[in-house]
Each structure stands twice: as C-alpha cells, then as structure tokens.
C-alpha cells in the first residue's frame, strides 16, 4: 500500500529529483528501501514572495512497509493510503431508447459513463463538429458574422471548447479523478493528473473533444450534429418522444437534457411544456485585462520564471450593506477576451487561453451577484430577459456591429479619462462609459469591489488595465427542478443535466453532473430505482 507525503517543498531552481532525497533523509531510509516513487500533486506557495516555493505531494512504496509503520514516529504530513482501485462497472442491458441532447462536458461524460455499463444512446447536438465550429467562431471574431447555430456557446464540446479549460471545482467528489483520467486518456496533457490547478487550454481541448466523439461512435453511440431538440412529447407526465429541428419525431424513453446555459429557445420550449423550473441567481459584470507580467509581479514578486506558470488570482468582496458580492471569475492567465454571443444583437464577453497560456495578457471576469429581486417578475425565464436586456444595451452602445464596450479601469473608477483602452476582444472594442451598459448597482458594487481588490493585490488598479463588457453568461439563470433520482420533478424520463439545467458551474462540475445523471439512469434501467 502506498504512503502519501504532503508539503514537500522545493525552491525555484531546484530539481524535482531532490524530492526522493528529501524523503530518504526525512525517514532515515536507504534509497533502495523505496520501490515506487511518484509526484501526485504540484502546487505553488507564493505567500512570501519573491521567495516562491513549489509544493509537492509524493507517493511512495517501501520494500518493508510493516517495519516502517512500526518504527515511524507520528508525522502529520504522512498518510498511509489504501490501494487505488479503478472503478468496476457491471454490464447492464436495457431496451430503453436513450437520447442525450448536448455535447458539452455534461452530455459527453453522461455518454462515456453509460458506455462503461454497456449502454448506448443517440447523441444530438444543435451545433457543428468542432473542426467546422472553429472556422465559424473565427469568422465571427474576424468579421462579426455570427452563426446562431455554431458559435462559442453552441457546437461540439459545448461552451468550454473555447475556454481556458480550467478543471478546478470546489466540489469534493470521488469522480473527479475519473474525469481527469478520462480527459488524459483522450489527449489532455497528463500533468492535469497532478496539478493543483489543472487546465487543458482551448487548443488541446478541441482535440480531446473529437477523440471522445470517435470513441463514443466506436462504442455504438450515433452522434448527430446540426440536430436541435425542439420539442418533447409527454403522455401521463412521462416523456414519450422528442422533436428534432422542428419536424422529425423520434421515440425516446430517457432524455439527458444537457443544453448549457445559453439554450434560451430550449428553455422556452420547456416552459411551454410546463416542465418545472425556477429562477436562479447568477452574476454579471465585465472582463478585466492586465499585462500578464504585472499580475506575475503582484503574485510572485517577479515578472516571470521558467518554473512558474503565468500567475492567476481569485478575489472576492462582500458589501455588507447591500448584501451583494463582487468577485473574480473564470480567470485566464496568458489568455484573450472572447466574443461569446449566441444571439443576434447582443454582446457577451468571456475568456480563453491555449495550453501554453502564452498571450501577454491576463483576463478575468469581475462580476456582481444578481437575483430574483433584480428580475422583472416571477417567470422562470426572467433571468434570461435580464441577461438579454444588458447584452443588447452593450451591442447598441458599442456601435451595433459586435464590437464590445470597453473602458480604462481607472476611468471606470473615477470618471477621469486617462490611460489607454486596449483589449484582446475581437472583432474590436469601442470606448464607452461602462456604467451605461450595466445596472447601476452592478457598476457601484464593482467599483467598491475593485478598490477592495487593490488592498489584496497592490497594483491591480492601474491605467494599464482595460474593462470590456458585458459578462452575462456566468451560469444558468434558471434551474430545471429534479428529484433525488435525477429526473425532472414534472416529467418522468427527463434527466436535466449540467450547467444549463442549473446543477453545475464549470467544466468539471458539469462533467460530474453528467456522470451522476448517467449513474441514475443505470440504477433506473437496472430496476434499482423506480421509473414510474
Ligand atoms: P455546455 O458546455 O454549454 O454544452 C451544451 C451543449 O448543448 C452545447 O454544445 C450546445 O450546442 C448544445 N445544445 C444546446 N441546446 C441544444 C438543443 N436544444 N438540442 C441539442 N443540443 C443543444 N468552465 C471551466 O470550468 N473552466 C474554464 O476555463 C471555462 N472557460 C470558459 C470559457 C468560455 C469562453 C465559456 C463560454 C465558458 C467557459 N467555462 C469554463 C464554462 C464551461 O464551459 C461550462 O460550465 C460547461 O461547458 C458547461 O457544460 P454543459 O455540458 O453543462 O453545457
């Protein structure tokens, strides 16, 4: 059985080969006592910058574990861990017709998990395969021609395909390592298995997504692109069939509905069919961009180091009086700001980066929480209307051609014009007073938040930083209600999944949710959970 040793540190410039030496010395061992040695986690401790330390967790095995355990004094960093076993999946057979709508992380991981049990499903995706989608998205960024079926939100791989591919989550879930292993199996960089903050990058993620598709096809999953779920048929509160592209009807017993948070027409269809949904709080704001070297200096005390990745940050501020929070979100070191619209006449910002994170800029969303009291009425889609209103305002204010409104960060704070407005957002930006394209309470909480962030990260407020807006698609504006068995509380056989269903936020948590839904389907078809 392996031992885990946490909190081993190296200074910058020291080689990882020293780690084994450190273990040998710490426990008075001989080198050949150790029969296996591996780094299982790599992190960074920059609290005493510029004395940045690399922090490791290592795993090792010994020839004589019994003697070691009997003679070792207590060491709080040392843990004797059980043997890691790969999950075992028993074969399940079912005559049920299963359809998965959406090929984002939730849909893809639901499919991968069903395949482990020997089940198959038809996968439908409203957008195009990733290779074609990349061209459509590039045309939008170059020329401002938006394809409403193939864009940053819609198409193979889902919203995260054009992203930083961060895989962090606050969730504690036994399937996290399963997701990481699967991603590595399909071509993600193997270091995600050990990184404290794993990320893939948009370039590598595109390859992973198409490798998963090819694997699923080999497992008997037909993958149909340019097929949009446009309606559902229900009899006695049970799903019986689905409609595709407004015409084709297809019998369906179990539907994994994983449409992402931007499928507004799908939400409208669900409302027409009286599927139980409720409003959900989310956050809106802007993207901030700084020179990456400036962020490195603040976080590491140095502009760069070959052993350090481009620095990131996570900031939060709570306004006790209003109860609102401002926080950084989806921070992309060495990345670019992207145009993420999926609807005509609206501007939406987001961020992405490649595997190497080698753009000279760092960007992050800076957003403020909004909720029921900010929406007009009780309709479950009121949050969608709220998003749309500010996306359109941004579009019109910046010239109506998908350029985004942008402003120097210092000008946004005090109204005094100075510094440049410089954004990586394409097809371009127009200098605008950002308070014109945000609700007043969002602008004012953002200003207070940014001043607070400066206290945490000296230099954050600088004339070198630009804000670009509007960031509205931070998470789903509603939740599709489901029970413990993962089925919709109003339609049996309907399994809402992932971010669009309001049960996840981010690539990892959407993938985990897809797995949970697939496991629930297996339990149901296997007769362990009632399907009535
Ligand atoms: P999605 O990924 O949105 O997938 C939904 C899919 O369903 C889409 O492919 C869509 O075309 C399809 N679809 C929609 N409606 C229908 C329909 N009616 N019929 C058929 N198909 C349909 N998260 C992170 O954790 N890390 C990051 O670094 C990160 N960066 C991001 C950068 C950008 C630019 C964006 C836009 C998002 C980013 N996110 C990031 C968020 C992350 O992408 C999402 O949380 C995640 O993709 C949600 O997964 P999902 O499967 O629930 O939905």
Residue 413 token pair: 């704070």
Q: Is 354 in the pocket of ligand 1 (CB under 6 A)?
A: no
Give one word for 527, left, alpha or beta, with left for phi > 0 and alpha for psi -120 to 50.
left
Nearest to 107 by CA among 180, 171, 170, 160: 160
Separation of CA 262 and ligand 1 centre (Å)? 8
Domain locations along the chain: 3-80, 98-278+480-525, 281-471
The per-residue DSSP string of 326-372 comes to EEEEEEETT-EEEE---STT---EEEE--TT--SSEEEEEEEEEE-G
Q: Average pLDDT for residues 323-351, to the nearest whole number?
A: 98
CB 246 within 8 Å of CB 263: no
pLDDT at 183: 98
Residue 529, pLDDT above cutoff 70: no
Separation of CA 350 and ligand 1 centre (Å)? 12
Considering the segment(s) 3-80 as one domain, its CATH architecture is 2-Layer Sandwich (3.30)
Q: Is 163 in the pocket of ligand 1 (CB under 6 A)?
A: yes
Q: Is 502 in the pocket of ligand 1 (CB under 6 A)?
A: no
Q: Is 335 in the pocket of ligand 1 (CB under 6 A)?
A: no
Alpha helices, DSSP H, located in 27-96: 65-71
The per-residue DSSP string of 196-262 comes to SS-B--HHHHHHHHHHHHHHHHHTT--EESS--EEEEEEETTEEEEEEETTTEEEE-SEEEE---TT
- How would residue 441 be classed by pLDDT, with cut points 50, 70 and 90? very high
Q: Is 152 in the pocket of ligand 1 (CB under 6 A)?
A: yes
Position in ligand 1 atom list of the atom nearest CA 105? 51
Pocket test for ligand 1, best of 138, 158, 474, 512 (most atoms within 8 A of CB): 158
- How would residue 87 be classed by pLDDT, with cut points 50, 70 and 90? confident
* Between 62 and 85, the higher pLDDT residue: 62
The per-residue DSSP string of 254-272 comes to EEEE---TT-HHHHHHHHH
- How would residue 532 be classed by pLDDT, with cut points 50, 70 and 90? very low
| CB-based burial label for 318 (10 Å; 0-12, 13-18, 19+) | middle
Q: Which CATH number fits domain 98-278+480-525: 3.30.1330.60, 3.40.50.2300, 2.130.10.10, 3.50.50.60?
A: 3.50.50.60
Q: Is 228 in the pocket of ligand 1 (CB under 6 A)?
A: yes
Spell out the residues 6+ positions from residue 80 whose beta carbon is closer than 8 angstroms to its own. 1, 3, 69
Give dist(CA 191, CA 531) in Å, integer: 41
Residue 532 token pair: 């009535």
Give dist(CA 505, CA 517) in Å, integer: 15
CB 137 within 8 Å of CB 151: yes
Q: Is 107 in the pocket of ligand 1 (CB under 6 A)?
A: yes
- pLDDT > 90 in the chain, percent: 94
SS3 label, residue 384: helix
Residue 418, pLDDT above cutoff 90: no
- Phi and psi at 496, nearest 5°, equal -70, 140
Q: Is 474 in the pocket of ligand 1 (CB under 6 A)?
A: no
Separation of CA 250 and ligand 1 centre (Å)? 25
pLDDT at 531: 47
- How would residue 453 be classed by pLDDT, with cut points 50, 70 and 90? very high
What pTM, to 2 d.p., does this model score?
Answer: 0.96
What Rg, from alpha-carbon coordinates, does the chain have?
Answer: 25
């Amino acid at each position: 059985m392996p031992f885990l040793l946490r909190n081993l540190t190296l200074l910058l410039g020291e080689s990882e080969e020293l780690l084994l030496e450190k273990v040998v010395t710490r426990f008075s061992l001989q080198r050949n006592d150790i029969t296996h040695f591996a780094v299982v986690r790599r992190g960074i401790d920059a609290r005493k910058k510029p004395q940045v330390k690399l922090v490791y967790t290592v795993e090792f095995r010994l020839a004589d574990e019994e003697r070691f355990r009997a003679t070792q004094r207590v060491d709080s960093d040392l843990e004797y861990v059980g043997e890691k076993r790969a999950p075992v999946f028993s074969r399940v057979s079912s005559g049920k017709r299963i359809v998965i709508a959406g090929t984002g992380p939730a849909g893809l991981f639901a499919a991968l998990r069903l395949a482990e049990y020997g089940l198959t499903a038809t996968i439908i995706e409203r957008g195009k395969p990733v290779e074609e989608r990349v061209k459509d998205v590039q045309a939008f960024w170059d020329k401002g021609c938006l394809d409403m079926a193939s864009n940053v939100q819609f198409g193979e791989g889902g919203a995260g395909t054009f992203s930083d591919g961060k895989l962090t989550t606050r969730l504690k879930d036994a399937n996290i390592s399963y997701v990481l292993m699967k991603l590595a199996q399909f071509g993600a960089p193997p270091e995600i298995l050990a990184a404290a903050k794993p990320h893939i990058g948009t370039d590598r993620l595109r390859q992973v997504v198409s490798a998963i598709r090819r694997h699923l096809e080999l497992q008997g999953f037909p993958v149909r692109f340019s097929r949009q779920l446009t309606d559902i048929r229900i009899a006695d509160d049970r799903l019986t069939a689905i409609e595709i592209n407004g015409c084709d009807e297809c019998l369906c017993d179990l539907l994994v509905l994983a449409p992402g948070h931007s499928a507004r027409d799908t939400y409208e269809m669900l409302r027409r069919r009286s599927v139980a949904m409720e409003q959900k709080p989310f956050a809106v704001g802007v993207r901030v961009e700084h020179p990456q070297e400036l962020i490195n200096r603040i976080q590491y005390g140095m502009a760069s180091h070959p052993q350090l990745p481009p620095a990131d940050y996570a900031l939060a501020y709570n306004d006790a009086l209003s109860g609102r929070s401002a926080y950084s979100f989806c921070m992309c070191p060495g990345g670019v700001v992207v145009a993420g619209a999926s609807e005509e006449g609206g501007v939406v910002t987001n961020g992405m980066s490649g595997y190497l994170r080698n753009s000279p800029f760092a960007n992050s969303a800076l957003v403020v929480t909004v909720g029921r009291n900010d929406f007009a009425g009780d309709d479950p889609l009121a949050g969608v209307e709220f998003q749309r209103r500010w996306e359109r305002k941004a579009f019109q204010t910046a010239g109506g051609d998908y350029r985004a409104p942008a402003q120097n960060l210092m000008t946004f704070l005090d109204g005094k014009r100075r510094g440049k407005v410089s954004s990586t957002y394409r097809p371009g930006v127009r200098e605008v007073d950002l308070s014109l394209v945000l609700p007043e309470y969002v602008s004012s909480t953002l200003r207070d938040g940014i001043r607070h962030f400066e206290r945490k990260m000296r230099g954050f407020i600088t004339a070198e930083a630009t804000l670009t807006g509007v960031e509205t698609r931070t998470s789903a504006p509603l939740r599709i209600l489901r029970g413990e068995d993962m089925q919709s509380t109003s339609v049996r056989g309907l399994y809402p999944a992932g971010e669009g269903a309001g049960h996840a936020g981010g690539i990892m948590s959407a993938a985990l949710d897809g797995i949970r839904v697939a496991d629930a389907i297996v339990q149901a078809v296997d007769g362990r959970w009632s399907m009535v």
